[in-house]
Structure 1
Amino acid sequence: MVEAWYMDSLDDDQRKPHRMEPNQSVSLQELEKLGVYHLKLNADIYEADPELKKIRTERNYTFMDIITIHKDTLPNYDEKIKIFYAEHLHLDDEIRYVLEGSGYFDVRNKDDKWIRISVVKGDLITLPAGIYHRFTLDENNFVKAMRLFVGEPVWTAYNRPADSYKARQDYLTFLAQVA
């Protein structure tokens, strides 16, 4: 089960959990109301996993690659970490499957508050196009993840403010329709 919570407002190390005191958990159902979906898969067999193959076929995830985020493996590591943590949106869904390691996806709720989602080995998470979000490693400083795409990969991030994009407008319409 994925773990998520509302974040505190401290500006110290982004890799810390940043839980409010007392902790305010966020359920999977609350995440789904934001269009954020989670599945748990067996990352030990990802290369031959029939469940992953089924998901890729059903959702038309035709392209994938693997990224390892660690200071020894990612070129321009410090720059990339800053880019990943800048609040942004994408024009397409962001789909990530954690194969090893761990990290955090932060997403904004309807009231513009940050929700931190802890992702660990086996977590597949989908963030909808148009949602403001960011990513950071946790204190383990390592994650290996599969990036999945419908069609050709597009890695373009649009930093906030990006409210004029159709994907953002569509996302806001989606949020308005969710109870």
Structure 2
Amino acid sequence: MRAYFMDDIPGDQRLPHDSGRETSEDALRSIGVLHWHIPIDGAGAYKDEVLKVAKEREYKNHDVIVINKESLGDEFESKIKNFYHEHMHEDEEIRYILEGSGYFDVREHATESWIRCHMSAGDLLVLPAGIYHRFSLDMTNRVRTMRLFKDEPKWIAHNRGKETDANPFRTQYVKTIEVQ
């Protein structure tokens, strides 16, 4: 995974929007974002490593989704735009990229800057509950991803706004990173 601050130049969300300013895994950890690289191997040993992380974080279920033009059909463009709305969840979001690539953008709370995490096969990312983020495919326009869940998936996206800023999960997240 490569992480960097985004530029502020308008344009297709699937373009790199690279400001040229890298960010470190330590900086990501300081805002609660965790990353592992677990290479995909033909023998399937990667599954044991992913499940080890899942067990440590008390995740019990998972599924695999495919996001591309073929799987989404006529809804492809609207779905991609919808994923790109800034939002937060009341649960951790954990994703493991099996094939393809895409971007998870996370807000750095102190500066309000976007940090872009370009992920590809073998990257596993954990976003804490309450962090503002969004997702976009890159120009490959395809990704196959394992989603992990503590119990049953609760895919409620709380779009950014005054009400969401006051959400208890958001306020707890902000308190946690401000203490560090």
Instruction: Number of aligned residue pairs: give it.
Output: 175
Q: Is the 8 A contact 1:42 1:49 kept in 2?
A: no
- In the alignment, which residue of structure 2 is the partner of 1:165? 167
- In the alignment, which residue of structure 1 is the partner of 2:40? 43
Q: How far apart are the structure 1 equivalents of 2:136 and 2:144?
A: 13
Shift of 1:79: 2.3
Q: How large is the RMSD of aligned CA atoms in angstroms?
A: 1.4
Name the SS for the 1:66 alignment partner: strand
Q: How far apart are the structure 1 equivalents of 2:46 and 2:143?
A: 20
Q: Is the 8 A contact 1:68 1:144 kept in 2?
A: yes
- In the alignment, which residue of structure 1 is the partner of 2:85? 86
Q: How far apart are the structure 2 equivalents of 1:48 and 1:4?
A: 23
1:5-20, aligned counterparts within 5 Å?
A: 5-20=4-19
Shift of 1:101: 0.3
Q: What TM-score results when the alignment is normalised by the length of structure 2?
A: 0.92
Q: How far apart are the structure 1 equivalents of 2:126 and 2:77?
A: 25
Shift of 1:61: 1.0
- In the alignment, which residue of structure 1 is the partner of 2:27? 30
Q: How far apart are the structure 1 equivalents of 2:123 and 2:45?
A: 15
Q: Deviations over 1:87-127 (max 9, x none)?
A: 00000011000000000000110211111111000000000
Q: Does 2:140 match 1:143?
A: no
Amino acid aligned to 1:64? H
Q: Does 2:127 match 1:123?
A: no
Shift of 1:46: 4.9
Q: Identity of counterpart residues, as a percentage?
A: 45
Q: Is the 8 A contact 1:95 1:125 kept in 2?
A: yes
Name the SS for the 1:13 alignment partner: coil
- In the alignment, which residue of structure 2 is the partner of 1:97? 96
Name the SS for the 1:148 alignment partner: strand
Shift of 1:145: 0.3
Give the one of 61, 66, 69 matched to 2:67: 69
Shift of 1:47: 7.6
Q: How far apart are the structure 2 equivalents of 1:86 and 1:7?
A: 16
Which protein has the bigger helix share? 2
Q: What TM-score results when the alignment is normalised by the length of structure 1?
A: 0.93
Q: Is the 8 A contact 1:130 1:167 kept in 2?
A: yes
Q: Is the 8 A contact 2:38 2:122 kept in 1?
A: yes
Shift of 1:49: 2.6
Q: How far apart are the structure 1 equivalents of 2:36 and 2:47?
A: 14
